[in-house]
Amino acid sequence: MPAPETARELIEWGAGQLDKAGLAYGHGTDNAYDEAAALVLSALQLGLYPEADRLDAPVSADNISKVMQLIELRISTRKPAAYLTGEAWFAGMPFYIDERALVPRSPLAELVENRFSPWVIAGRVKHMLDLCTGSGCIACACAVAFPAARVDAADLSADALAVAGRNIRRHALEQRVKPVESDLFAALGGLSYDIIVSNPPYVPRAAMPELPAEYRHEPAIGLVAGEHGLDIVLQILKNAQYYLNEGGILVVEVGCSQPMLESAFPGVPFTWLDFEYGGEGVFLLERSQLENHQPTFDQAVTV
């Protein structure tokens, strides 16, 4: 194709380069074209949804060079695009991101935007917990979706909490979103919540070397969870009921580990959520269901 001269042409050119390089996607995009668009629009500071005339306007030689260098960096380093641009979008909100925390991406965004309907009455939600918060994207999105609620954003990693704090300040949520350094529930004392939501680590240790290079740029503490990948989920199941208010719900993403969890606890009535825009492996349990099956969780040594 002729040398690209507009943002649209740069996206098409970039998609071709990324496609030829055989990259892996999954950090907010699932194909070369969308990945190229994210890189080009960020480099040119055009925003997420630019008007057509801006896409078709001539781009300066300096900016063309800037875009091409960014595309080449994506190919040569195999870093997720969000780490190169310093920004990712979640639930319609922009978030700062770097390699101290996982790149925001989760079907939970759709659930948050829908205010956990029909599982809760939104107006009654006063206190929420985002467990394993990472960048704080879920916690911040929850605070926006529930403007009368307080949200605790808990994580074991001080590095991740530094990123979360930056995002809390970016969205002016300091009065309602509180970062808490905690090994799961350990530092939460006697607090209780109407909703506990979590996207915890759930990758089996042995699977890490097999992951595409893009994922291995992310902090392992945010991915690996024991031999089978469900050590942390089991701890959440064992303890969540003690931190839920009457009528409260627990929502946890376990991704491709869903079959293993179902096999380990065949009698537990997990509700596996469906998502209009794709995604799987997210379960919901009510506090009463956690109580009813507490002996099962307590007896489980590992999953």
Question: 114: helix, coil or strand?
Answer: coil
Is position 117 within any domain? Answer: yes
Same domain, 81 and 161: no
Is position 92 within any domain? Answer: no
Q: How confident is the model at residue 302 (pLDDT cuts 50, 70, 90)?
A: low
Residue ending a domain, among 31, 56, 85, is 85
Parent domain of 74: 7-85
The pLDDT of residue 47 is 84
- Neighbouring residues of 296: CB distance < 8 A, sequence distance ≥ 6: 265, 267, 268
Residue ending a domain, among 36, 51, 85, is 85
- Is 12:71 a contact under the CB 8 Å cutoff? no
Residue ending a domain, among 37, 53, 85, is 85
The two tokens of residue 141 are 């999105």
Is position 1 within any domain? Answer: no
Is position 216 within any domain? Answer: yes
Is position 2 within any domain? Answer: no
We report the CATH number of the domain holding residue 31 as 1.10.8
Whole-angstrom Cα distance, residue 254 to residue 173? 28
Could you please report the per-residue DSSP string of 131-161?
A: ET-TTSHHHHHHHHHSTT-EEEEEES-HHHH
Same domain, 219 and 107: yes
The whole-chain average pLDDT of the chain stands at 94
Same domain, 56 and 110: no
**φ/ψ (deg, to 5) at 269:** -80, 60
Q: How confident is the model at residue 225 (pLDDT cuts 50, 70, 90)?
A: confident
How much is the CA Rg of the chain, to the nearest whole Å? 20
Whole-angstrom Cα distance, residue 139 to residue 179? 9
Asked if residue 237 has pLDDT above 70, the reply is yes
Whole-angstrom Cα distance, residue 72 to residue 103? 20
Mean pLDDT of 224-231: 86
Is position 273 within any domain? Answer: yes
- Give tens-digit pLDDT for 104-162: 999 999 999 999 999 999 999 999 999 999 999 999 999 999 999 999 999 999 999 99
Same domain, 265 and 122: yes
Q: Which has more confidence, 256 or 244?
A: 244
Same domain, 56 and 148: no
Mean pLDDT of 33-59: 92
- Give tens-digit pLDDT for 161-183: 999 999 999 999 999 999 999 99
Whole-angstrom Cα distance, residue 62 to residue 38? 19
The pLDDT of residue 168 is 98
Mean pLDDT of 30-43: 95
Same domain, 108 and 216: yes
Nearest to 32 by CA among 56, 14, 9, 51: 14
Is position 140 within any domain? Answer: yes
Q: Total domain count for the chain?
A: 2
Same domain, 233 and 109: yes
- Give tens-digit pLDDT for 267-280: 999 999 999 888 88
What's the pTM value of the predicted model, to 2 decimals? 0.94
- Neighbouring residues of 158: CB distance < 8 A, sequence distance ≥ 6: 181
Asked if residue 1 has pLDDT above 70, the reply is no
Asked if residue 281 has pLDDT above 70, the reply is yes
Is position 231 within any domain? Answer: yes
Same domain, 141 and 195: yes
Same domain, 73 and 104: no
Same domain, 37 and 126: no
Same domain, 33 and 161: no
Whole-angstrom Cα distance, residue 128 to residue 111? 14
Share of the chain above pLDDT 90, in %: 85
Same domain, 257 and 141: yes
Mean pLDDT of 15-31: 94
